[in-house]
């Protein structure tokens, strides 16, 4: 159907914006969405492949709500990168609308959001806003839930499930549009959401799925010989793809494997580059190398590969480095990216050929496990670029003919797996039960049980007796810890319990912190207090030094009965504390990479999480009347990665850990020293006229 033929069923602004982007035809899923009541407010679950037009379906619903119903629209996604990408796209496509994004501080109400029509938000942030009593929720008329299949993930799924269930109760007349590419039990999810099911296998770019066996691809109904001469399958696939003047995306199970893959491919890919591409990649390499104040060996490795037209991509990279890789790949200049599987669920980075090299990953506690069919199909969905490719290739690599048969049976011809709720686990439910009570959302055991029976978990299992048992156990625990109390069966949160819920931390973590606060005596014990929590996972590599030094600090765990069962291995969180202690002792990224295997990206993540846990610990310390000076000091040191002696200097803008240390070593040890005669000349000699002028201009206000 031509878009203009949709006529009065769509806001004219949607049609105009789409046509400016070159969209003149509706895809089959988009046509079907209109027939199923998209523009009259029907709830819809869209289960369709990547690039089939799911985002435009959501866009039509959101714009109808904003322009016709004069209500707000919410877009929710589990990954911040995805939220940010969709926000940027809509800001560009509808510059005249009031569009906002909120993915940050989980202890902020963000009152300013009340002035916006479309709000892009992460799952955790919206859950946090509701806990804080966000005042504008009643004005929401449309909720878009992207990546609905994440309900089946242990980490993010429960929060998403509770959030959807909560929204259905708080704003029951709001339209819910749920999007997913891989759902094995889409009808069950649609039934739970009282939604129309829109299931489609339409892809604008046809997908050929096959298994590489030696030097050819078995597609089931036909075979294709790979051009090139390399014996190693990855290199041979790269040769074949580059021969077609296309790009290839490899997925690996670990960061180390992804880096090793890039190393194997670099020489071969570099042969295909034009002089213009080589010149552009030289610039990209410089950008990668300069992302940190002092490059690590990982930075140098990535820069070297990027100059060859290859990159690795994983959570260990600095944000700026990931941005460079994504940008140059989208522009077609980087030809090959070797990534961990997380890229398959984040930003939109399609390629002509996608290869899932590793179908087995190691999981702590479970050992080696096969990737699920849904996850592999999600990764396969990156194959085929609309407007650029006539078809996409999605490949697995086999060891031999027998292995190829097994891979075909396990993935290529297998049905998608059903999604199962992960909500019925006590540690997961504990956090949400406290939030129900703390926000006065639910206050009785029966009402909590009734609410959870409305969740996907309740829809799938419907076991009221089992839920009663779990919830009773949680309520007893929370009351024993002093987070709630009850009178005649009605539960209320204590002052501490309410703050724990607002801070968005696990009640077990809060209990551990409250009990440990009076015992901490030095930086390391304080850091162990915050690292020994679920929020700081994944932990750093356990070192021999950590095992030896833990003897002094192990007594902090004494008497922590509830925490003992929750804790898996105290040496790893303690090792994380030692790593953070080295960070605030001004050790460089390269030293931490060698000693703890912590990459710049993971250091950034851990210091961010540590900042949040130090803030939360400070808030709890105030409530239990424990001195907060040490926590406040550590928080600033953590933010900048500095020793105590630099605290005064980093108050100045333009001054971070490197400049502060340079100033200190040159005799400028405090802000007051900058007022002394000759300091301006010394500062200019260190940093140049422009930077020194900006630093000195602050002296009147500091």
The CATH number linked to 464 is 1.10.10.10
In a domain, 419, yes or no: no
For residue 474, which of 508, 451, 514 has the smallest C-alpha distance?
A: 508
Domain match, 624 and 573 both: yes
Please, which residues bridge with residue 225 across strands? 216
Q: What is the pLDDT of residue 362?
A: 79
CA distance 650 to 640: 8
Helices 426-438 + 445-453 axis angle, to 10: 120
Q: What is the pLDDT of residue 562?
A: 47
> Structurally, how many domains does the chain consist of?
5
Q: What is the pLDDT of residue 321?
A: 94
Q: What is the DSSP letter of 418?
A: P
Note if the pTM is more than 0.85.
Answer: yes
Task: Collect contacts of 222-228 with beta carbons under 8 A, ≥24 apart.
Answer: none
For residue 541, which of 600, 614, 472, 592 has the smallest C-alpha distance?
A: 592
Q: What is the pLDDT of residue 560?
A: 64
Dihedral angle of Cα 12, 15, 16, 22, to the nearest 10 degrees:
180
Q: Among residues 641, 667, 685, which one ends one of the domains?
A: 641
Q: What is the pLDDT of residue 50?
A: 83
CA distance 346 to 81: 6
Average pLDDT of the residues in 289-302: 91
Q: How confident is the model at residue 425 (pLDDT cuts 50, 70, 90)?
A: confident
- CATH number of the CATH domain containing 691: 1.10.150.20
Domain match, 450 and 581 both: no
In a domain, 701, yes or no: no
CA distance 211 to 73: 43
CA distance 444 to 488: 10
C-alpha distances in Å from residue 328, one per residue of 272, 279, 288, 323, 344:
16, 12, 12, 9, 17
Q: What is the per-residue pLDDT across 168-208, written as a single tens digit (0 to 9) for each?
A: 999 999 999 999 987 899 999 999 999 999 999 999 899 99
Domain match, 318 and 376 both: yes
Q: What is the per-residue pLDDT across 659-694, written as a single tens digit (0 to 9) for each?
A: 999 999 999 999 999 999 888 899 999 999 999 999
Q: What percent of the chain has pLDDT over 90?
A: 79
Q: What is the pLDDT of residue 386?
A: 84
Q: What is the per-residue pLDDT across 467-518, written as a single tens digit (0 to 9) for each?
A: 889 899 999 999 999 999 999 989 999 999 999 999 999 999 999 999 999 9
Contact at 8 Å (CB) between 339 and 250? yes
Q: What is the per-residue pLDDT across 360-399, written as a single tens digit (0 to 9) for each?
A: 987 766 678 899 999 999 899 999 988 889 999 999 999 9
Contact at 8 Å (CB) between 373 and 407? no
For residue 602, which of 254, 266, 104 has the smallest C-alpha distance?
A: 254
3-class state of residue 91 by DSSP: helix
CA distance 541 to 71: 49
Domain range holding 321?
Answer: 207-412
Q: What is the per-residue pLDDT across 85-136, written as a single tens digit (0 to 9) for each?
A: 999 999 999 999 999 999 987 777 788 999 999 999 999 999 999 988 899 9
Domain match, 497 and 509 both: no
- Dmax (CA) of the chain: 82
CA distance 374 to 645: 52
For residue 602, which of 257, 322, 290 has the smallest C-alpha distance?
A: 322
In a domain, 378, yes or no: yes
In a domain, 232, yes or no: yes
Q: Among the listed ranges 2-11, 412-421, 640-649, which one has the minimum average pLDDT value?
A: 2-11
Domain match, 243 and 325 both: yes
Tell me the average pLDDT of the chain.
92
Domain match, 452 and 573 both: no
Helices 600-623 + 495-503 axis angle, to 10: 160
Q: How confident is the model at residue 565 (pLDDT cuts 50, 70, 90)?
A: very low
Contact at 8 Å (CB) between 636 and 657? no
Domain match, 173 and 57 both: yes
Domain match, 350 and 289 both: yes
Q: What is the pLDDT of residue 7?
A: 64
Domain match, 400 and 332 both: yes
Count of other CB atoms within 10 angstroms of residue 326? 21
In a domain, 375, yes or no: yes
Residue 319 clears pLDDT 50, i.e. is over it:
yes
In a domain, 69, yes or no: yes
Please, which residues bridge with residue 367 across strands? 363
Domain match, 650 and 540 both: no
- CATH number of the CATH domain containing 107: 3.40.50.300
Domain match, 194 and 218 both: no
In a domain, 57, yes or no: yes
Domain match, 216 and 186 both: no
Q: Among residues 457, 475, 501, which one ends one of the domains?
A: 501
For residue 438, which of 516, 370, 495, 398 has the smallest C-alpha distance?
A: 495
Q: What is the pLDDT of residue 2?
A: 73
Radius of gyration for the alpha carbons in the chain, expressed in angstroms and rounded: 27
- CATH number of the CATH domain containing 602: 1.10.3380.20
Contact at 8 Å (CB) between 545 and 561? no
In a domain, 420, yes or no: no
Q: What is the pLDDT of residue 190?
A: 97
- Tell the residue number behind the tokens 């050790």, with chain if given: 587
């Amino acid at each position: 159907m031509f878009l203009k033929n949709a006529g009065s069923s769509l806001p004219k602004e949607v049609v105009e914006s789409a046509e400016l982007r070159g969209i003149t035809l509706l895809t089959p899923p988009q046509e079907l969405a209109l027939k199923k009541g998209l523009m009259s407010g029907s709830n819809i679950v869209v289960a369709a492949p990547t690039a089939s037009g799911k985002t435009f379906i959501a866009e039509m619903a959101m714009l109808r709500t904003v322009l016709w119903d004069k209500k707000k629209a919410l877009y929710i996604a589990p990954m911040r990168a995805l939220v940010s990408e969709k926000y940027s796209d809509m800001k560009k496509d509808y510059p005249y609308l009031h569009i906002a994004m909120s993915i940050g501080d989980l202890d902020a109400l963000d009152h300013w959001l009340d002035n916006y029509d479309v709000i892009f938000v992460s799952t955790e942030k919206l859950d946090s806003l509701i806990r804080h009593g966000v005042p504008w929720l009643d004005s929401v008329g449309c909720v878009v839930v992207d990546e609905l299949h994440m309900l089946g993930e242990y980490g993010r799924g429960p929060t998403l499930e509770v959030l959807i269930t909560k929204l259905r109760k708080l704003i029951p007349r709001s339209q819910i549009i749920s999007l997913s590419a891989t759902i094995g039990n889409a009808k069950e999810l649609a039934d739970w959401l009282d939604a129309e099911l829109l299931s489609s296998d339409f892809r604008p770019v046809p997908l050929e799925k096959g298994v590489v066996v030696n030097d050819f691809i078995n597609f089931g109904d036909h075979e294709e010989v790979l051009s090139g001469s390399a014996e190693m399958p990855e290199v041979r696939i790269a040769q074949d793809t580059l021969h077609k003047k296309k790009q290839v995306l490899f997925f690996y199970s670990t960061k180390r494997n992804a880096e090793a893959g890039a190393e194997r491919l670099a020489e071969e890919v570099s042969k295909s580059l034009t002089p213009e591409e080589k010149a552009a990649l030289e610039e990209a390499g410089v950008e990668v190398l300069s992302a940190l104040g002092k490059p690590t060996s990982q930075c140098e490795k990535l820069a070297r590969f990027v100059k060859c037209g290859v990159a690795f991509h994983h959570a260990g990279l600095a944000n700026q480095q990931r941005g460079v890789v994504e940008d140059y790949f989208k522009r077609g200049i980087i030809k090959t990216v070797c990534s961990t599987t997380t890229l398959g669920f984040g930003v939109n980075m399609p390629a002509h050929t996608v290869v899932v090299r590793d179908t087995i990953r190691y999981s702590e506690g479970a050992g080696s496990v096969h990737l699920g069919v849904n996850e592999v199909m999600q990764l396969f969905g990156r194959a085929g670029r609309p407007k650029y490719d006539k078809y996409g290739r999605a490949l697995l690599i086999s060891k031999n003919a027998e292995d190829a048969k097994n891979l075909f049976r396990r993935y290529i011809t297998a049905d998608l797996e059903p999604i199962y709720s992960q909500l019925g686990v006590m540690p997961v439910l504990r956090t949400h039960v406290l939030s129900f009570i703390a926000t006065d959302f639910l206050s009785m055991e029966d009402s909590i049980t009734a609410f959870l029976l409305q969740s996907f978990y309740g829809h799938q299992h419907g076991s009221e007796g089992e839920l009663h048992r779990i919830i009773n156990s949680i309520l007893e625990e929370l009351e024993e810890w002093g987070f709630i109390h009850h009178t005649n069966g009605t539960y209320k949160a204590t002052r501490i319990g309410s703050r724990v819920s607002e801070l968005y931390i696990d009640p077990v973590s809060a209990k551990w912190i409250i009990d440990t606060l009076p015992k901490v005596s030095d930086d390391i014990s304080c850091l162990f207090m915050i690292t020994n929590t679920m929020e700081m996972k994944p932990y750093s590599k356990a070192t021999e030094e950590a095992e030896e030094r833990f003897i002094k600090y192990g007594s902090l765990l004494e008497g922590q009965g509830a925490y003992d069962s929750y804790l898996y291995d105290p040496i790893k969180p303690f090792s994380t504390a030692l790593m953070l202690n080295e960070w605030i002792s001004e050790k460089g990224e390269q030293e931490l990479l060698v000693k703890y295997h912590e990459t710049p990206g993971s250091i950034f993540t851990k210091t961010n999480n540590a900042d949040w846990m130090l803030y939360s610990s400070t808030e709890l310390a105030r409530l239990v009347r424990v001195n907060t000076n040490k926590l406040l000091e550590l928080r600033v040191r953590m933010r900048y990665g500095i020793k105590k002696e630099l605290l005064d200097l980093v108050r100045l803008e333009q001054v971070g850990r490197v400049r502060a240390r340079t100033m200190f070593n040159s005799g400028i040890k405090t802000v007051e020293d900058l007022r002394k005669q000759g300091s301006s000349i010394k500062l200019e000699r260190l940093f140049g006229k422009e930077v020194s002028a900006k630093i000195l201009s602050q002296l009147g206000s500091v």
